A = this chain, B = another copy of it.
Amino acid sequence: MSAARLKAAIMGATGYAGFELTRLLLRHQKLAAPLLLTRSEGSGEALESTYPELMGKGSFPLEPFSWKLLKSRGVNVLFLATPHELSRELVPEAIAQGLRVIDLSGAWRLKSAANRAVYGFVDDDPEAAAKLDQSAVYGMPELHRDEIRGAALVANPGCYATSVIVPLAALIRAGLIDTAHGVVCDCKSGVSGAGRKPTQKTHFVEAADNLSAYSVFGHRHTGEILEQAGLDAEQLIFTPHLLPIPRGILSTIYVKLRHACGADEIEAALSECYGKGGWVRLFPHGSLPQIRYSLRTNYCDVGYQLAPDGRRLIVVSCLDNLMKGAAGQALQNLNVMFGWSEKEGLE
């Protein structure tokens, strides 16, 4: 409630992740009302015309983007819920202007040029972009809390990637997984993950009463998982599926362990990473999370089941793709960047 509240701006508030983020920012006690930006010319549109559920909560105009506007409004931090290309274009200048940036797109998540190739970025200033590629911090606080604190640019993780990296990174760091054997990630996501723009794939009649696998051996989140889990390309299989639900992800992850383990070893490895804060919730051995448990929360839920031989492990992780998989994690990153509790504005 002090005059010194932080001022945030959001580009892309009309998309599903952008709108979720806007709602979170509006409720956050340490923030002033966010500035909502658009690149559509002559729009004069307000967010409530796209989202009538805002009725009675005030007016939320979308203002034409300009660096001048950001400066004049005293914006400190810029959220981008925009296509990759636009993030790639805007971020270098934003950083040059001294803004801190949290980018929800895939533009700045990857360190390796090989992994970035799938996006086909064309940069105006390749040198500046290359520097940012290296200085950007992968925004998963549970793994990179310290770097996020001081980061100028935080690359908010992909939704599928978060659900897979959370359990994998902890188990691989603990040295439990036989990575040479290969890791299989069978992932299922609700339709909001495909974005708000209507397509044949997101048509109700095509998606309802259905399930389909897609982007097999070729989904863009693969690179993030490889880099964050420390796997080679041929060690990872990641298969996305489209679920007939509005939101939520469940990933079923199959790994081989280096030696026969008991549940206590698995639990110790996960607790080591996630037992001290953050938004990962561990389920006891044999008790598995379901998608609806984490819907509309910022939790990534993790449960597991060992085979009787103790060598084969199935991990199930669930999260809300618009929360821990996008907007919620972005807010968690903001909290870390500004030294607030990671729970702030998320409970």
- List the one stretch of A28-36, A87-95, A114-122, A280-288 in contact with chain B: A280-288
CB of B308 within 8 A of CB of A212, answer no
Q: In the complex, what residue of chain B is closest to A281 when comparing beta carbons?
A: B56
Q: Are A314 and B202 in contact (CB under 8 A)?
A: no
Which residue from B204, B237, B306 sits with its C-beta under 8 Å from A312? B237
Contact B202 A312 (CB under 8 A): no
Residue of B nearest to A295 (CB): B209
Contact of A213 among B245, B301, B316 (CB under 8 A): B316
Task: Determine if A250 is an interface residue (Cβ-Cβ < 8 Å).
Answer: yes
Q: Are B281 and A55 in contact (CB under 8 A)?
A: yes
- CB contacts (< 8 Å) of A237 on chain B: these are 254, 307, 312, 314
Please state if A234 and B309 are interface contacts (CB–CB under 8 Å): yes
CA A301 to CA B55, docked complex, whole Å = 9
Given contacts A205-B196, A252-B239, contact A288 B213 (CB under 8 A): yes
The smallest beta-carbon distance between A48 and chain B, in angstroms, is: 11
Report whether A204 and B305 are in contact in the complex, using a CB–CB cutoff of 8 Å. Answer: no
Given the interface pairs A52-B293, A55-B281, A198-B199, the reply to whether A252 lies near B191 with Cβ below 8 Å is no
Residue of B nearest to A234 (CB): B309
Q: Least Cβ distance of A187 to chain B in Å?
A: 10
Contacts of A239 in B (CB 8 A): 252, 314
Residues of B close to A309: CB separation below 8 A: 234
A291 close to B210 (CB less than 8 A):
yes
Instruction: Indicate if the CB atoms of A211 and B55 lie closer than 8 Å.
Output: no
A265 to B: closest C-beta gap in Å = 17
> A210 CA to B306 CA in the complex, in Å?
23
List chain A positions with a Cβ less than 8 A from chain B: 16, 52-53, 55-56, 181-182, 184, 186, 188, 191-192, 196, 198-200, 202-214, 216-217, 234, 237, 239, 241, 243-248, 250, 252, 254, 256, 281, 283, 287-297, 299, 301, 305-309, 312, 314, 316
